[in-house]
Amino acid sequence: MTVLARAIDATRRYGDVLALDRVSLDIRAGELIGLLGPNGAGKSTLINLFVGLRRPTSGTMELLGGSPSDPAVRRSIGVTPQETGLPESLRVGEIVDFVSAHFPERYGTAELLARFGLGDLVKRQVGGLSGGQKRRLAVALAFAGRPRLVFLDEPTTGLDVEARRTLWEGIRSFHADGGTVVLTSHYLEEIEALAQRVVVIGLGRVLADGTVQAVRDVVGVRRVSFAAPAVPDLPSIMRSSVEDGRVHLLTTDSDLLVTELVRAGTAFADLEVRPTSLEEAFITITSKEEARA
């Protein structure tokens, strides 16, 4: 498959902060990729490098066979602005006209707005739109130039369930027509609903890259904790730590772990099993990465 965009050993620093650490990633034509990671993980920085907004401190970014900093190659991509930044004094139609004018191929303003359920709002000033309407307008702008590849940064944040599903339909139909999508979200549900390939980013690195199922397994980790003097040695333990006399174990199969624990005759008290949140799973994975580094 054709590679539309590629990061090769891309590192980006902001002063002392290492936002991206030698990331290599291929985005192939026709993929629908979800970038998943906690805030500050480096998702936005990675997208900013792909769209030419920032340059890597070291390493290389390729976009459609050229450099993201060349305006000509950016004719085939679409990006969502942050909805909080839309120019308030302009009308919806004026903004769409302005953005569309940059692209050789484009949807008509009316058609684009209709696709995103904004058809009635052409004449409205952006300042008077609701948060959800602004968000939909921002996502619509990414598609204004009939792009081959779109980067959608948190496309549905702040939308109600119905609007979110409508937007998902729009993204799916773009993808079904051959479009390539890179989207970020911190909703696992959204990534599951849309993406085929999931790239987990944490501490500026790619921690996992695979199918939705593979990443679900990473996130489907449970935490089993109890009071005990030492960490038992059991096969189903992914990771362990001791804190204030309590043993914390991470496992993908808590039932099996507890069974093993009982069979091994380990003395324990005050057993607790709970799901790890997405955030927690990332912290665990990333702290392991940190320990390794």
Partner 1 sequence: MPNLILTHTRYQFLEQLRVPIALVASAFFPAAAMLAFVVPFAGADPASATQATAGMMLFGAMSAALIGLSISVAQDREQPWDPYLRTLPAGPLPRFGGRIVTTMASMLLSVVPVLLISAFLTAAAVSPLRLALGIGALLVGSVPFMLMGLFIGYAVSPKAAIAVSQVTYFPIAALGGLLMPLEVMPSFVQSLAPFVPSRGAIELMWAAVAGRTPSPVSLAAFAAWIILAAAAATWAYRRDEGRRFS
List interacting residues with partner 1 (CB under 8 A).
14, 39, 44, 48, 51-55, 71-75, 77, 79, 81-82, 84-87, 89-90, 94, 98-99, 101-103, 141, 145
Of residues 74 and 222, the one with the C-beta less far from partner 1: 74
Distance in Å, CB of 266 to partner 1, minimum: 45
Q: Which residue has the tokens 């629908």?
A: 32
Of residues 48 and 251, the one with the C-beta less far from partner 1: 48
Give me the residues paired with residue 248 across strands.
225, 241
For residues 64 and 4, the answer to whether their CB atoms sit within 8 Å is: yes
Residues 6+ apart with CB under 8 A from 280: 223
Distance in Å, CB of 153 to partner 1, minimum: 8
Other Cβ atoms within 10 Å of 195 Cβ, number: 24
Distance in Å, CB of 89 to partner 1, minimum: 4
Distance in Å, CB of 31 to partner 1, minimum: 20
Of residues 101 and 176, the one with the C-beta less far from partner 1: 101
Of residues 39 and 130, the one with the C-beta less far from partner 1: 39
d(CA 175, CA 229): 54
Distance in Å, CB of 1 to partner 1, minimum: 24
Q: Within 13 Å and on the Cβ side, how many CA atoms surround 148?
A: 15
Q: Within 13 Å and on the Cβ side, how many CA atoms surround 206?
A: 19
Report DSSP state, residue 120. G
Of residues 98 and 187, the one with the C-beta less far from partner 1: 98
Name the burial class of residue 189, with classes exposed (0-12), middle (13-18) and buried (19+) by CB atoms within 10 angstroms of its CB: exposed
Closest to 58 in 3D by CA, of 5, 11, 6, 8: 11
Name the burial class of residue 96, with classes exposed (0-12), middle (13-18) and buried (19+) by CB atoms within 10 angstroms of its CB: buried
Of residues 86 and 194, the one with the C-beta less far from partner 1: 86
| Pairing assessment for the beta strands 32-36 and 197-202 based on DSSP bridges | parallel
Residue 225, helix vs strand vs coil: strand
Distance in Å, CB of 246 to partner 1, minimum: 35
Distance in Å, CB of 79 to partner 1, minimum: 4
d(CA 182, CA 180): 7
Of residues 3 and 101, the one with the C-beta less far from partner 1: 101
